[in-house]
Amino acid sequence: MSKIETVRAAMMQALKAGDKPRKEALSLLLSALKNKAIDKREDLTEDEENAIVYKEIKEAQETLDTTPADRTAIIAEAKGRMQVWAEFAPERMGEDEVRAVVLETVAELGGSVTAQEKGKLMKVLMPKLKGKAEGGLVNRIVTEVLT
């Protein structure tokens, strides 16, 4: 079952249960997924669906980060949306798991990669971690490993 169908079913349950904030959050997510499918003109892959969910969560986090503390309604709404959307996002890899993949990839490339060869490492590494780990975390760990 595609994520669009899953989100639509959850939205209908929220509608029947009278949970308006959850229904609205799911409606926004469903809209984002459907718009991307329309733009692509074909069904989305699982990775593309997950990327959209992560994008929506990231945008809600940015709203939280930039909203003044006295705007409690906006903060509560963004937190609620993030909580609902997190149900549809696969779990990301932890720091230890990412570090293990980075070290394994360095070993595949001959065991010693210099800081100047970071691009070469990232080219091999990113397909392994795409959609599974946050980019900032990967970059930080790669920098630590290479120094």
Task: Tell me the per-residue pLDDT of 67-115, one tens digit each, with 9 for 90 and over.
Answer: 999 999 999 999 999 999 999 988 888 888 888 988 888 888 877 777 7
Tell me which of 118 and 10 has the higher pLDDT: 10
Domain count, the chain: 2
AA identity, residue 70: D
**Long-range own/partner contacts, residues 8-11 (CB < 8 A, 24 or more apart):** 10/87, 10/88
Residue 129 — pLDDT band, cuts 50, 70, 90?
Answer: confident
Residue 102 and residue 125 in one domain: yes
Distance of CA 118 to the CA centre of its chain: 24
Residue 2 — pLDDT band, cuts 50, 70, 90?
Answer: confident
Residue in the structure block whose two tokens are 């963004």: 78
Domain boundary residue among 43, 60, 86? Answer: 86
Residue 108 and residue 52 in one domain: no
Residue 76 and residue 137 in one domain: no
Contact between 147 and 118 under an 8 Å Cβ cutoff? The reply is no
For residue 10, give its domain range: 3-86
Q: CA Rg, the chain, in Å?
A: 19
Residue 80 and residue 53 in one domain: yes
Quote the CA–CA distance of 70 and 56 in Å, as a whole number: 23
What does the block give as tokens for 79? 């937190």
